[in-house]
Chains A and B, each alone.
Chain A
Amino acid sequence: MTRLNPLSLIYGGALIGLTFIVISLAGNIVGSLTSDTQFNRFTLDAYSRLLSDPGLPATLLRTLALGFGSISVTLAFAIPFAWLLARTDFKWKTGLFTLLAAKLAIPGFITAMAYVWLFNPSAGLVNALLGQTNYTGEPAFDVYQIKWLCLLQGLVLVPGAAFMLIPALRNLDGSLEEAARVAGVPAWKTFRHIVMPLLAPGILAVGVFYFVVAVEMFDFVAIIAPPGDVLVLTIYEALNTVDGLPDYGLAGAAGVLLFALSAGAILFYVRFLRQAKKYAVLGGKRRDPGLVRLGKWQRAASALVILWVTLSVGLPVVTLLWVAVVPFIQPPTFAALDSVSLYGFLDGLAYLREPLTNTAIVMAGTISMALTFAICLTWVVTRSRSTIAPWADALVFLAPAVPAIVTATAFQVMGIAVYQWLPLYGTLWLIMAAMGTRMLAYCTRTMNAAALQIHPELEEAAWVAGLSRWRTFTGVFLPLMAPAIFYAALMVGMLAARDLTLPLIMNSAGTPLVSVLIFDLQTNGETASAAAVALYMIVVLVLLALTARRLTGMAEPGLEPTR
Chain B
Amino acid sequence: MITVRGLTATYRLGRDTVTALDGVDLDVEPGQVFVLLGPSGCGKTTLLRCLAGLETPVAGQIEIDGIPLSDAATGLFVPPEDRPLAMVFQSYAMWPHMSVFDNVAFPLKAGRRRLPSNEVDGRVDEVLSLLGIDHLSARSVTTLSGGQQQRVGLARAIALRPRVLLMDEPLSNLDFRLQVELRGQLRALMHELNLTTVHVTHNQAEALEMGDRIAVMDAGHVVQTDDPESIYHRPVDEHVARFVGDMNLIPGSVARWSEGTAQVQTASGMFLAMTAENISLPEGARCFLGIRPADLVVPAPTDAPPETCLTATVTDRRFQGDRMMFGLKAGNDPLEISTHHSVRLSVGSEVRVHIPPDSAIAVKPSPQTRPTDQSDDGD
Contacts and interface: CB of A to CB of B under 8 A. Distances in A.
In-complex A–B contact (CB below 8 Å) = yes
Interface of A: 173, 175-176, 178-187, 189, 193-194, 197-198, 200, 278-283, 285-287, 290, 293, 295, 556, 559, 562
Contact of B87 (A173, A179, A283): A179
Interface string B154-178: 0011001000001000000100000
A406 to B, nearest CB: 39
Contact of A193 (B81, B110, B378): B110
A183 B56 CA distance: 18
Contacts of A182: 52-54, 80-81, 83, 85-87, 166
A178 B54 contact: yes
Contacts of A185: 81, 106-107, 110-112
Given A184-B111, A285-B173, A179 B95 contact: yes
A278 B143 CA distance: 9
A181 B55 CA distance: 12
A184 B112 contact: yes
B160 A183 contact: yes
Contact of A279 (B56, B97, B160, B376): B97
Contacts of A562: 376
A183 B107 contact: yes
A199 to B, nearest CB: 10
Interface of B: 11-13, 49, 52-56, 77, 79-83, 85-87, 89-97, 106-107, 110-114, 140-142, 149, 153, 156-157, 160, 166, 173, 376, 378
A183 B97 contact: no
Nearest to B85: A182
B169 to A, nearest CB: 11
A286 B91 contact: yes
B93 A176 contact: yes
20 contacts: A175-B91, A176-B93, A176-B95, A179-B89, A180-B111, A181-B53, A182-B53, A182-B81, A183-B156, A184-B107, A184-B111, A184-B113, A184-B160, A185-B111, A186-B111, A197-B97, A282-B91, A282-B141, A285-B90, A287-B91
Given A176-B94, A287-B378, 14 more contacts: A175-B91, A176-B96, A178-B87, A179-B87, A183-B87, A185-B81, A185-B106, A185-B111, A186-B111, A280-B142, A282-B92, A282-B149, A283-B91, A285-B91
Contacts of B173: 285
Contacts of B153: 179
Nearest to A286: B91
A176 B142 CA distance: 14
A278 B79 contact: no
Contacts of A295: 77, 79
A559 B106 contact: no
A189 B80 contact: no
Give the most central of B80, B96, B157, B160: most A CB within 10 Å.
Answer: B80
A181 B81 contact: yes
Given A182-B80, A285-B173, A286-B91, A280 B96 contact: yes
Given A183-B156, A185-B107, A175 B93 contact: yes
Contacts of B89: 175, 178-179
A193 B106 contact: yes
B113 to A, nearest CB: 4
A495 B55 CA distance: 39
A276 to B, nearest CB: 9
B314 to A, nearest CB: 39
A451 to B, nearest CB: 17
A176 B153 CA distance: 11
A559 B95 contact: no
Contact of B79 (A198, A280, A286, A293): A293
B162 to A, nearest CB: 9
B140 A559 contact: no
A185 B113 CA distance: 8
Nearest to A179: B93
Contact of B54 (A173, A181, A186): A181
Contacts of B83: 182
| Most A-side CB within 10 Å, residue of B54, B77, B90 | B54
Given A181-B80, A285-B91, A278 B97 contact: yes
Contact of A173 (B82, B93, B157): B93
A176 B91 CA distance: 9
B91 A198 contact: no
A453 B114 CA distance: 31
A556 B141 CA distance: 32
A561 to B, nearest CB: 9
Contact of B97 (A189, A198, A285): A198
A295 to B, nearest CB: 6
Contacts of A286: 91
Nearest to A295: B79
Contacts of A186: 79, 81, 111-112
Contact of B55 (A184, A200, A290): A290
Contacts of A173: 91, 93
A176 B111 CA distance: 15
A178 B93 contact: yes
Nearest 4 CB-CB pairings of A with B: A184-B111, A183-B107, A179-B93, A175-B93
A185 B93 CA distance: 14
B132 to A, nearest CB: 21
A282 B148 CA distance: 13
A255 to B, nearest CB: 37
B50 to A, nearest CB: 11
Contacts of B86: 182-184
A297 to B, nearest CB: 10
A295 B78 CA distance: 9
A492 B173 CA distance: 42
A194 B80 CA distance: 16
B292 to A, nearest CB: 34
Given A182-B52, A562-B376, A189 B110 contact: yes
A182 B69 CA distance: 13
Nearest to A194: B95
A293 B77 contact: yes
A187 B12 CA distance: 24
Contacts of B54: 178, 181-182, 290
B12 A559 contact: yes
B48 to A, nearest CB: 10
A184 B91 contact: no
Contacts of A283: 91
A180 B95 CA distance: 9
A282 B87 contact: no
A287 to B, nearest CB: 6
Contacts of B52: 178, 182
A117 to B, nearest CB: 45
Contacts of A282: 91-92, 94, 96, 141-142, 149
Contacts of B90: 175, 285
B113 A279 contact: no
A279 B97 CA distance: 6
Nearest to A181: B80
Nearest to B83: A182
B377 to A, nearest CB: 9
A189 B113 CA distance: 13
A295 B56 CA distance: 12
A178 B13 CA distance: 22
A285 B11 CA distance: 21
Contacts of B81: 181-187
Nearest to A192: B110
